[in-house]
Amino acid sequence: MPPDQPVSAPLRFRASRRKLILVVHDDADLRQLSASILMRSGFLVDTAADGATAWEALNTVSYDLLVTDFEMPNVSGVEFQRKLYAVRRALPVIVASPDLPRRDFPRNPWLQPAVTLLMPYTVGEFLGTVKVLLSVTQGARLSIPPPPDRKNWPSINGWQL
């Protein structure tokens, strides 16, 4: 056997593993519809009705993708993104929402999700987005850097020409 054979076998197994997705939405009908579409497409799916419940799930299960809304009770989507970033967990996130909290993004660009699906969207758009994002990220759960520490940035007076 070539020396790289034992290494490539587990990689093939990992690539063929069914992906686990967490769907978070406070609207029970939309949550169930999204979960059903994903399950019919061969994905494993867990659901949560709010950000607090989703946060508990994320701390006990290793997901490949998070599909969420920004307007949720208990923990908003923005706060949820902040929590993910605070623990430096790079989980691919799709935000499926009728609108976005645009005022938060310019101040905190690291909170922007990987993909935003503005409602209404088609089943094809939803599944296509999920599949493309999972293929690009390969379900990566990498460590991400903390937000920039602006205290250490040079001031305008610190620049010499």
- Sign of torsion over alpha carbons 132, 57, 142, 72: positive
- Give the CATH number for residue 100: 3.40.50.2300
Q: Could you tell me if residue 135 is inside a domain?
A: yes
Domain housing 83: 10-142
Q: Could you tell me if residue 59 is inside a domain?
A: yes
CA dist 148 → 95, 151, 153 (Å): 23, 9, 9
**Residue 32 pLDDT greater than 60, yes or no:** yes
Q: Could you tell me if residue 3 is inside a domain?
A: no
Distance CA 83, CA 57 (A): 13
Q: Could you tell me if residue 39 is inside a domain?
A: yes
Q: Could you tell me if residue 41 is inside a domain?
A: yes
Q: Could you tell me if residue 45 is inside a domain?
A: yes
- 56 Cβ partners below 8 Å, 6+ apart? none
- Residue 18 dihedral angles phi and psi, to the nearest 5°: -65, 135
Distance CA 10, CA 54 (A): 30
Domain count, the chain: 1
CA dist 37 → 1, 19, 42, 65 (Å): 42, 14, 9, 15
Q: Against a cut of 0.75, is the pTM above it?
A: no
Q: What is the pLDDT of residues 100-146, one digit of tens each?
A: 666 666 666 666 777 888 888 999 999 999 999 998 876 454 444 44
